[in-house]
Amino acid sequence: MTNMKHLILLCTLLISFNSFAAIQPDADAYERGDYSPAFTLIEKLAEQGDAKAQYNLGLMYDKGDGTPQDYKAAIKWYVKAAEQGHAKAQSNLGNMYRKGEGTPQDYKAAIKWYTKSAEQGHAKAQNNLGAMYYEGEGTPQDYKAAIKWYTKSAEQGNAHAQFNLGVMYDNGFGTPQDYVMAHMHWNIAAANGHEDAKTNRDRVEDMMTPNQIEQAQQLTKEWIEKYKKNM
C-alpha cells in the first residue's frame, strides 16, 4: 500500500510538472516579446471569463502584439473586462472612445469609462478625465472638476497631472492665480521627468520674488516628502 501511495504521488508530481512546462514557455515567450504563444494562452483564459486575460487580450489587439492590430477586437475585450470592473480596461476603453479608434469618437462614452476607472484610483484615467473637464469634451467645461481629478492623479505621481496643475494655477483656471503653486507643481513634475515643466518653472520664476521662490521650493520639498512613495 505504501509503494502504491508513492507511485500515485510521483505520477501526480509528473503531471503537475508537465502542466507547468506546457504553460511556462508561453510566459517566457511573452517576456521575450514573442507574443504569439502568449496570445493563445491569454485568449483561452479570456474566453473563460478571466477579467485580467480579457484586458490583456484587448491590449494585444490594441497594440498588435502577437496578432494583427484590430481596434474593434480590442474594444470587444476591453468592454468585457471593464464590465467586470477592471480599472485599466476601463481607462483604455476611455482612450478608444476619446480618440475614435475602432469606434466613432464618443466623448460621453469616454467620460463614462474614465470616470469608472478614476473612481477606482487609476492615475492615468484621473488625469485624462481632468483633461476632458478642462477641454469641455463630452461635458460642460469645468475647471474645478479638472483640478479635482488632476490633483488625485498628481498625488499618485502622474507627471502629466502635476504639469497640468501648474497650468491651472499659472492661469488662474478654477482657482485664484498663484505663481507659488504653479512653480511648486512644475517643480514636482520636473523632478518626475517632465521636460516642459522645467521650462515653465523657469519662466514663472522670472515673475516671482525671492521670498515666493523660497516658499515654492519649501512647498515642493513638503509635497515630495508626503507623496514620495508615489514618485
- pLDDT for 7 equals 38
15 confidence band (pLDDT: 50, 70, 90): very low
Read off the pLDDT band of 26 (50, 70, 90).
very low
Write a three-state SS string for the chain. CHHHHHHHHHHHHHHHHHHHHHHHHHHHHHHHCCHHHHHHHHHHHHHCCCHHHHHHHHHHHHHCCCCCCCHHHHHHHHHHHHCCCCHHHHHHHHHHHHHCCCCCCCHHHHHHHHHHHHCCCCHHHHHHHHHHHHHCCCCCCCHHHHHHHHHHHHCCCCHHHHHHHHHHHHHCCCCCCCHHHHHHHHHHHHHCCCHHHHHHHHHHHCCCCHHHHHHHHHHHHHHHHHHHHHC
For residue 76, pLDDT beyond 80: yes
From the candidate CATH numbers 1.25.40.10, 3.20.20.150, 3.40.50.1970, 3.40.50.150, the one assigned to the domain spanning 25-120: 1.25.40.10
State the cell numbers at 55: 484586458
Percent share of the chain, pLDDT over 90: 80
27 pLDDT above the threshold of 60: no
Sign for the CA dihedral angle at 19, 21, 27, 30 comes to: negative
Supply the pLDDT for residue 32: 64
Provide mean pLDDT across the span 217-227.
96
| The predicted structure's pLDDT at residue 139 | 96
Tens of pLDDT, residues 49-58: 999 999 999 9
The three cell numbers of residue 77 are 475585450
pLDDT in tens, 104-119: 999 999 999 999 999 9
Return the domain boundaries, the chain.
25-120, 123-231
Q: Residue 231: pLDDT band by 50, 70, 90 thresholds?
A: confident
User: Which of 130, 163, 159, 127 shows the shortest CA–CA distance to 145?
Assistant: 130
- What pLDDT, in 10s, does the model give residues 30-68? 556 667 778 888 999 999 999 999 999 999 999 999 899
Mean pLDDT, rounded, for 140-156: 98
Domains 25-120 and 123-231 share a fold: yes
Q: Which pLDDT score, from 0 to 100, does residue 229 have?
A: 84
Q: How far apart are CA 58 and CA 65, in angstroms?
A: 10
pLDDT at 34: 66
> What's the whole-model pTM score?
0.85
Write down the CATH number for the domain with range 123-231.
1.25.40.10
* Whole-number pLDDT of residue 30: 52
